[in-house]
């Protein structure tokens, strides 16, 4: 029986990889129709993989079983976040990511064995050059691939979830809280609520870095002002008297990956309720106001990202109709392996 082998992804592998990706995408769309139809066509899949492979920070590998493609993976390295961009601060410095449509394993092949070889090939180069934070995205419901990456030490970190339909939210009354669309005069309120959202994500058990320190306010203000100047990025603020206690905001372009349909899809960027105002219906009222806007503007679904460890956010969004379509899995490599490997090389042989 042929043994699996692995080597670098070459341009000559594109046709076979595209056929495998198109087949995989077709199966995934049966579970998640929000995925774009175009990638079911090998030509479209090939064009996308060629773009990925052509990126200057891309690394690719293929696994072969007796000369036949058993699987492939393409990862992209990212360095330090841009210090002058608010959203860039959310990125982990010196990380490498494999997108959900940047890897696949052929049916009938051992996914755990294939992914192990592919990751071994890519991760060796990443860690050798100081990229210690690794991530891979998997379409929800693909238990075979998900288990293969779990087996390599990855854990769920974030989910991309979709609410099909933008109908009203149940039990959306919020008592003495009023909700209105934010204008430029409300930028201070938005900065404060963004900071509250950041503090929430910094806390246990999420421990997700967010620019939430006082020195980050200028970044947040510049970013939010730019959104307020564009009428297609509405922000809805909940007020209790003169105090802002909650926020739901939407981004026209959103942060969903290109293999998720953007047509008539509202992207919910921030949703937060101050701790003292929680459990009183404010969150549901804010979401209901956002869904009313989505209906008025012709949207048919809503998409968001939520940390799977978010002890309050994840249960809230799930209870209000959001269903995971994609999971982001992450692994952080102990940086001590770098100097340990160097020490071993310098003092070889080691008993």
Q: What percent of the chain has pLDDT over 90?
A: 83
Read off the pLDDT band of 232 (50, 70, 90).
confident
Indicate if the pLDDT at residue 346 is higher than 70.
Answer: no
* Phi and psi based region of residue 237 (left: phi greater than 0; alpha: psi -120 to 50; beta: remaining): beta
Q: What percent of the chain has pLDDT over 70?
A: 97
Read off the pLDDT band of 343 (50, 70, 90).
low
Distance CA(210)–CA(221), nearest Å, equals 15
For the segment 18-46, the average pLDDT, to the nearest whole number, is 98
The pLDDT of residue 351 is: 40
CATH for 163-320? 3.40.630.30
Can you give the pTM of this predicted structure?
A: 0.93
Q: Which one, of 335, 271, 265, lies nearest residue 299 by Cα?
A: 265
Map out the domains of the chain as residue ranges. Answer: 4-153+331-345, 163-320
Q: Which one, of 255, 252, 254, 256, lies nearest residue 233 by Cα?
A: 252
Indicate if the pLDDT at residue 22 is higher than 70.
Answer: yes
| Range in 63-67, 201-205, 335-339 with the lowest mean pLDDT | 335-339
Indicate if the pLDDT at residue 263 is higher than 60.
Answer: yes
Fold of 4-153+331-345: Aminopeptidase (3.40.630)
The pLDDT of residue 82 is: 77
| Cβ partners under 8 Å of residue 33, min gap 6 | none
Q: What is the mean pLDDT of the chain?
A: 93
| Per-residue tokens: 4 | 């699996």
Indicate if the pLDDT at residue 12 is higher than 70.
Answer: yes
Read off the pLDDT band of 341 (50, 70, 90).
confident
239 forms bridges with which residues in the sheet? Answer: 178, 244
Indicate if the pLDDT at residue 344 is higher than 70.
Answer: no
For the segment 58-76, the average pLDDT, to the nearest whole number, is 97
For the segment 59-74, the average pLDDT, to the nearest whole number, is 97
The pLDDT of residue 345 is: 55
Read off the pLDDT band of 350 (50, 70, 90).
very low
């Amino acid at each position: 029986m042929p043994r699996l082998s692995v080597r670098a992804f070459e341009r000559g592998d594109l046709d076979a990889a595209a056929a495998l990706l198109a087949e995989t995408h077709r199966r995934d769309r049966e579970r998640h129709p929000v995925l774009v139809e175009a990638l079911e066509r090998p030509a479209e899949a090939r064009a996308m993989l060629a773009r990925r492979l052509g990126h200057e920070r891309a690394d690719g590998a293929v696994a072969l079983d007796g000369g036949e493609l058993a699987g492939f993976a393409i990862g992209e390295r990212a360095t330090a976040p841009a210090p002058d961009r608010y959203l860039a601060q959310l990125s982990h410095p010196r990380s490498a990511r494999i997108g959900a449509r940047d890897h696949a394993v052929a049916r009938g092949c051992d996914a755990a064995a294939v992914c192990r070889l592919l990751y071994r090939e890519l991760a060796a180069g990443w860690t050798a050059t100081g990229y210690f934070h690794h991530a891979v995205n998997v379409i929800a419901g693909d238990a075979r691939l998900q288990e293969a990456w779990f087996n390599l030490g990855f854990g769920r970190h974030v989910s991309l979830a979709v609410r099909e339909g933008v109908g009203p939210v149940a039990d959306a009354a919020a008592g003495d809280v009023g909700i209105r669309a934010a204008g430029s005069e409300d930028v201070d309120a938005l900065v404060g609520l963004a900071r509250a959202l950041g503090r929430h994500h910094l806390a246990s058990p999420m421990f997700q870095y967010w620019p939430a320190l006082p020195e980050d306010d200028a970044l947040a203000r510049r970013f939010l002002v730019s959104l307020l100047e564009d009428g297609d990025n509405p922000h809805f603020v909940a007020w209790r008297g003169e105090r802002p206690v909650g926020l739901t905001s939407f981004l026209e372009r959103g942060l969903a990956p290109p293999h998720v349909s953007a047509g008539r899809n509202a992207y919910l960027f921030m949703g937060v309720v101050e701790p003292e105002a929680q459990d009183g219906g404010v969150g549901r009222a804010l979401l209901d106001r956002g869904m009313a806007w989505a209906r008025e503007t012709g949207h048919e679904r809503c998409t968001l990202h939520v940390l799977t460890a978010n002890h309050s956010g994840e249960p809230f969004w799930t209870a209000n109709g959001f269903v995971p379509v994609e999971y982001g899995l992450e692994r952080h490599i102990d940086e001590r392996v770098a100097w340990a490997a160097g020490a071993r090389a310098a003092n070889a042989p080691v008993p």
